[in-house]
Chain A
Amino acid sequence: MSLQTSTQPTSPVQQALREALIAGVVSFGLFFFFIGLKTDQNIRNELVLVTRWGLLATVVILTMIVRFLYVAYAVPFLARQKIADAVTGLLPDSTGTKFFRVPFFIGSLVLAALLIVFGSAIVAWTGPNIGAYVTLIRAFAIIYAVAAIMFYGRAFIGRNFASIGIVSLILYPILVVVILALLAWSNGSANITSAAFQGSLKWVDNFGIQILIYVMLAWGLNIVVGLAGLLDLGYVAFYAVGAYSYALLGTHFGLSFWILLPMAGILAAFWGVMLGFPVLRLRGDYLAIVTLAFGEIIRLVLINWREVTNGSAGISGVPKVSFFGWFTFNVSDPNYISKVFDIPQSGAYYKIFLYYLILALALLTAFVTIRLRRMPVGRAWEALREDEIACRSLGINTTSTKLTAFAIGAMFGGFAGSFFAARQGFVSPESFVFLESAIILAIVVLGGMGSLVGIAIAALVMVGGTEALREMEFLKSFFGQDFTPELYRMLLFGMAMVVVMLWKPRGFASSREPTAFLRERKAVSGSFTKEGHG
């Protein structure tokens, strides 16, 4: 039997059938208990066993179909492509040019435009269930068009990545408002501007600000972990220090954000040094554990020191940021923005203002990091990550070098924290759990330790991706009405991490930009750099 199969070459379809069957059996075995059976409580509070054969069958069949398609078509296809560009992991140009054709591009543009203009009419006609698909198709059309533009402009984008990124970040809220105004206009809504501003809240706040906060935090932590190679699992402590210093000083003394922002940074840096002094003698795992404990201590202090922090109830009514005192965003104030400029009231102005504020703070972090890397301290941080003994033999005071990394990283954490307090208007210890530290660290690692662009992309994918899950209403039509996609965010986060780490073990940006050069700036491959061990 085995002789026969080995002499007779099997066709991919045959093999795919066999592998699909195997996959079906395996997934059946796996999911039988996970999906097929469910324990539940009935009205009399008894435990009953619910069977879900339909769902089990769907999952198993889906697994088999995917396996079949993968083995029968995807594998030979990839083999024919002589697997892609080893550096980027992307498919070679020939595939790209086949996929991104000008007619398709124009088609997608037309489709997107049509669905934007007539989308609401179609939804009104078909009902919300099919309407969800309309939105999905529209999203795909737009994504395709954007991807096509990026594909054809990839050389240009590659060259000017940073400036394009900054410009598009600056334009982002404006674009959102304009697009929403167009949509409102197509819906024939009565008040186009207010509808546009109201609708922009979600995009600017949930996506823009949320992602940028994580970008800033990850860039701050990057100084400690990515550059100096010190594994810090308690970074969120400094975020908490920043947030509480703004919340407490702002509510009790009524000081303005612009005074408290630097103060929060300084306080966080102070705590960074306080933690650093005893702790930096430790290395690797020990340092990680002690920083983790520090993060928890700060949180427990916040919970238990009720007289000052109001315990787990948190502090509410944290003052809003004003526009340097020129106008404010409190409706009751005499110089409220809409009174100053004579425009309709909207909460969106504050969010857009906050967006630009966090963008400025994040860019400040990036700017300082880039400057510092080219300064002696920055080089010493990286040298410390590479080899601490060698640093000491060159006369570098490793303790103070580590302390500066800790303090500066903590300072940016503090800035982000005070911004966070101002944005939420409310702080409580809930926001500063270990999971936050872990997410920030995961973003740094996924982005490629030390690379600002890589980290920004990782934050976009991770935070933006999990936020996007909330938008995936159409999934409900597959999995039933009580399916809440955002509950699966941690699962997806974990899966994405595994995939990225397999595909690019050193993160998205796995090479290192040298800080000085004689003739040409050549990126240093990640295989030479070290992660540090303390």
Chain B
Amino acid sequence: MSDAANMSTPILKLEHLSMKFGGLVAIGDLSFEARRGEITALIGPNGAGKTTVFNCITGFYKPTEGMITMTRRDGSTHLLERLPNHEIPAKAKVARTFQNIRLFSGMTLLENLLVAQHNKLMVASGYTILGLFGFSGYKRAAAESVELAKYWLEKAELLDRADDPAGDLPYGAQRRLEIARAMCTEPELLCLDEPAAGLNPRESLALNELLMSIRDETGTSILLIEHDMSVVMQISDHVVVLEYGRKISDGDPASVRSDPKVIAAYLGVDDEEVGDVLVEVGDEQVIEELDVAPDPEHGPGASSSMFAGAVSDTIEHSDEDERIAVSKGASKAAQVEAKEARSAEAPDTPSKGAK
């Protein structure tokens, strides 16, 4: 396939994706595309289903319906909903980080990055057998893997702590290490779940630079969940907004920012000062107020328990009682839509929302 054609095909394409947990529709008929070489941001209020989308893309959940197509640089396509969990990073070259950081805390930084190169090293070591007898091919591969780890440690500004345990790092550094670890799998698509959460402004700025350099230097496309609007607005090329598992807006940052449905979804207001609203959402305090930790019974909590069994196990666990019907009028974006429809019917009433 020619490069030009390749460039135009989106790297990731979600079509009619749905994910139901018992009666709860976490994602409903979601379609969007992430373009190659771009940073695509996925935003939305808490519980909108962003992490669930990530879990579907990276194979931790099997979607109830829909298709996720990953097109690699060499033109091969992979249907992610059909691949087993661990083959998605290996074959489709999709790497991810977690909302609640998941490092190998008892291993050193270097070891964390070496574990990420497992598959490559496994092959080089002849599935351990050749490596056990010290074949030179494995030694070379091992040295190369250390070099790659060093490169990413350097990028994440963690080189001087390479021999410390990962659990000993401050929070911001742990976030950067998780990104570095994901990059060591040499992905084509990097999925980051709230990488700026809990960072101070200086760390957040450094993160922006790291992400942009990943995009520009390695050509890795990035899919990003983020609450911090300043990060989203500065670095993303394309923004998709979710609310209650449905896409309410899709476009470049400027257009999304002024979309009344988005504004309504975020703050539930639709009056004149909407222009400032998103800036306000970027305010850390507001985020903190919004940021309720995901329901441990449903969302990916701190324990590994949800993921460890087959996916059906985790789905089973939400039983009938948990059937959640989104109350009528809960979706702010839907309210705006309804209002627009009404104002279209009665053109004499001036529409505020359309502003």
Q: Which residues of A contact B (CB under 8 A)?
A: 281, 283, 368, 371-372, 375-377, 379-380, 382-383, 386-398, 404, 512, 514-522, 524-525, 528-530, 533-534
- State how many angstroms separate the Cβ of B72 from the closest Cβ of chain A: 14
Q: Is B110 an interface residue (CB 8 A)?
A: yes
Q: Are A522 and B164 in touch, CB under 8 angstroms?
A: yes
Known: A281-B310, A394-B95. A514 touches B105 (CB 8 A): no
The listed residue (B107, B116, B163, B309) touching A382 by CB distance below 8 A is B107
Chain A binder among B26-34, B119-127, B200-208 = B119-127
The digit string for B298-310, where 1 denotes a CB below 8 A from any CB of A, is 0000001101111
Q: Are A534 and B98 in touch, CB under 8 angstroms?
A: no
* Complexed CA–CA distance, A375 and B117 (Å): 11
The digit string for B139-161, where 1 denotes a CB below 8 A from any CB of A, is 00000001000100000000100
The listed residue (A375, A392, A394, A525) touching B125 by CB distance below 8 A is A375
Across the interface, name the chain B residue whose C-beta is closest to A515: B111
Q: Are A387 and B163 in touch, CB under 8 angstroms?
A: no
The listed residue (B88, B95, B122) touching A377 by CB distance below 8 A is B122
Q: Are A395 and B163 in touch, CB under 8 angstroms?
A: no
The listed residue (A281, A372, A386) touching B132 by CB distance below 8 A is A372
- State how many angstroms separate the Cβ of A141 from the closest Cβ of chain B: 43
* Complexed CA–CA distance, A533 and B102 (Å): 15
Q: Are A512 and B128 in touch, CB under 8 angstroms?
A: no
Q: Are A380 and B118 in touch, CB under 8 angstroms?
A: yes
The listed residue (B111, B116, B165) touching A394 by CB distance below 8 A is B116
A-B pairs, top 7 by smallest CB distance, nearest first, are A529-B106, A395-B89, A395-B90, A528-B167, A386-B104, A376-B121, A390-B102
* Complexed CA–CA distance, A368 and B128 (Å): 11
> A533 to chain B: which residues have CB within 8 Å?
304
- State how many angstroms separate the Cβ of A518 from the closest Cβ of chain B: 4
* Complexed CA–CA distance, A517 and B116 (Å): 16
Q: Are A393 and B128 in touch, CB under 8 angstroms?
A: no
* Complexed CA–CA distance, A520 and B117 (Å): 22
* Complexed CA–CA distance, A28 and B167 (Å): 49
Q: Is B332 an interface residue (CB 8 A)?
A: no
Q: Are A283 and B89 in touch, CB under 8 angstroms?
A: no
Q: Are B305 and A390 in touch, CB under 8 angstroms?
A: no
> B128 to chain A: which residues have CB within 8 Å?
372, 375-377, 404
Known: A393-B96, A394-B185. A388 touches B106 (CB 8 A): no
Q: What are 18 pairs between A and B in contact, CB < 8 Å?
A: A283-B305, A376-B122, A379-B107, A379-B114, A382-B111, A383-B104, A390-B102, A390-B103, A393-B58, A393-B98, A394-B118, A395-B119, A512-B106, A516-B111, A516-B114, A518-B162, A519-B163, A528-B165
Q: Is B108 an interface residue (CB 8 A)?
A: yes
In the complex, chain B residues 303-334 whose Cβ is within 8 Å of any chain A Cβ: 304-305, 307-310
- State how many angstroms separate the Cβ of B122 from the closest Cβ of chain A: 5
> B269 to chain A: which residues have CB within 8 Å?
none
The listed residue (B95, B110, B122, B132) touching A393 by CB distance below 8 A is B95
Q: Are A530 and B121 in touch, CB under 8 angstroms?
A: no
Q: Are A534 and B102 in touch, CB under 8 angstroms?
A: no
> A383 to chain B: which residues have CB within 8 Å?
104, 107, 115, 118
> B122 to chain A: which residues have CB within 8 Å?
376-377
* Complexed CA–CA distance, A380 and B185 (Å): 14
Q: Are B308 and A376 in touch, CB under 8 angstroms?
A: no
* Complexed CA–CA distance, A391 and B181 (Å): 11
Known: A376-B118, A389-B102. A528 touches B168 (CB 8 A): yes
- State how many angstroms separate the Cβ of A227 from the closest Cβ of chain B: 12
Across the interface, name the chain B residue whose C-beta is closest to A534: B308
> B98 to chain A: which residues have CB within 8 Å?
389-390, 393
> B116 to chain A: which residues have CB within 8 Å?
394
> A397 to chain B: which residues have CB within 8 Å?
86
Q: Are B104 and A390 in touch, CB under 8 angstroms?
A: yes
Q: Are A375 and B132 in touch, CB under 8 angstroms?
A: yes
Q: Are A394 and B105 in touch, CB under 8 angstroms?
A: no
Q: Are A387 and B88 in touch, CB under 8 angstroms?
A: no
> B182 to chain A: which residues have CB within 8 Å?
393-394
Across the interface, name the chain A residue whose C-beta is closest to B115: A383
> B111 to chain A: which residues have CB within 8 Å?
379, 382, 514-516
> B105 to chain A: which residues have CB within 8 Å?
386-387, 528-530
* Complexed CA–CA distance, A519 and B160 (Å): 9
Known: A388-B304, A518-B150. A395 touches B118 (CB 8 A): yes
* Complexed CA–CA distance, A405 and B181 (Å): 24
> A512 to chain B: which residues have CB within 8 Å?
106
* Complexed CA–CA distance, A345 and B121 (Å): 54
- State how many angstroms separate the Cβ of A209 from the closest Cβ of chain B: 28
The listed residue (B103, B115, B159, B168) touching A379 by CB distance below 8 A is B115
- State how many angstroms separate the Cβ of A374 from the closest Cβ of chain B: 9
* Complexed CA–CA distance, A274 and B157 (Å): 46
Q: Are A379 and B118 in touch, CB under 8 angstroms?
A: yes
> B165 to chain A: which residues have CB within 8 Å?
524-525, 528
* Complexed CA–CA distance, A283 and B310 (Å): 12
- State how many angstroms separate the Cβ of A369 from the closest Cβ of chain B: 11
Q: Is B131 an interface residue (CB 8 A)?
A: yes
* Complexed CA–CA distance, A394 and B183 (Å): 10
Across the interface, name the chain A residue whose C-beta is closest to B84: A397
Q: Are B163 and A522 in touch, CB under 8 angstroms?
A: yes
Across the interface, name the chain B residue whose C-beta is closest to A530: B106
Across the interface, name the chain B residue whose C-beta is closest to A399: B86
> A371 to chain B: which residues have CB within 8 Å?
132
- State how many angstroms separate the Cβ of B124 from the closest Cβ of chain A: 8
- Most chain B beta-carbon neighbours within 10 Å: one of A404, A517, A528: A528
> B146 to chain A: which residues have CB within 8 Å?
516, 518
Q: Are A392 and B304 in touch, CB under 8 angstroms?
A: no
Across the interface, name the chain A residue whose C-beta is closest to B131: A375
> B162 to chain A: which residues have CB within 8 Å?
517-519
Q: Are B85 and A392 in touch, CB under 8 angstroms?
A: yes
- Most chain B beta-carbon neighbours within 10 Å: one of A394, A516, A525: A394
- State how many angstroms separate the Cβ of A430 from the closest Cβ of chain B: 37
With A379-B114, A393-B60, A519-B163 given, can you name 17 additional A-B contacts, CB distance below 8 Å?
A376-B128, A387-B103, A387-B104, A388-B304, A389-B307, A392-B86, A393-B58, A394-B182, A395-B88, A515-B111, A516-B111, A516-B146, A517-B162, A518-B150, A522-B164, A528-B166, A534-B308
- Most chain B beta-carbon neighbours within 10 Å: one of A281, A382, A383, A533: A383
The listed residue (B114, B117, B159, B308) touching A283 by CB distance below 8 A is B308
* Complexed CA–CA distance, A25 and B128 (Å): 63
